[in-house]
Amino acid sequence: MPLLPILRFPDPRLKKVAAPVERIDDGIRRLARDMAETMYEAPGIGLAATQVDVHLRLIVIDASETRDQLLTLINPEILEQDGLQVCEEGCLSVPGIYDKVGRAERVVVRYLDIDGQPQTVEAVGLLAVCLQHEIDHLQGRVFVEHLSQLKQVRIKNKLAKQARITA
């Protein structure tokens, strides 16, 4: 069971736009550690603070196969994006649901690291998808919102049915 409870779609709290982190202090560092532990345990490759009902611009990502390349991004901002790739995505807030989403093939993201130092990462492939997916969460968007209305309704119905079965 994850350390922090993860909000599940269509919870309205997933729609909240995250506020910038004003000060990186011990509370933010603890939140980042707890989020990373939650992400690894879930298991997932990315987690936005929005998903754990903390509405600050903080994400953790580890898209490595070895699960030892944790990125903590505070106040991430996409500076550049180009190309197009269509990948199957899933989400810890939408368990058991996977679908194809079009995203930029390459992104450049500026952020602050856990020590408050400005950093830039250029990413392609899975890391680029993950960065865009998690930054969407900070803007109050879940990946299923990139899908057709019909697919969104089907997903909501499937998740409601799952909730009734497990209740």
Sheet holding 46-48, edge to edge: 46-48, 58-61, 71-82, 106-112, 118-124
Phi, psi of 68 (to 5 degrees): -135, 25
Q: How far is CA 66 from the centre of its chain?
A: 19
The single residue of 22, 41, 134, 145 carrying the catalytic annotation is: 134
Q: With beta carbons less than 8 A apart as the criterion, state whether 106 and 128 touch.
A: yes
Residues 6 or more apart whose CB falls under 8 angstroms from that of 110 comprise: 76, 77, 79, 118, 119, 120
Which of 152, 159, 42 is CA-nearest to residue 101? Answer: 152
Active site residue 77: no
Cα–Cα distance for residue pair 14/33, rounded to 1 Å: 21
* Cα–Cα distance list, 72 to 2, 83, 113, 161 (Å): 18, 25, 6, 35
Q: Enumerate the active-site residues.
A: 134
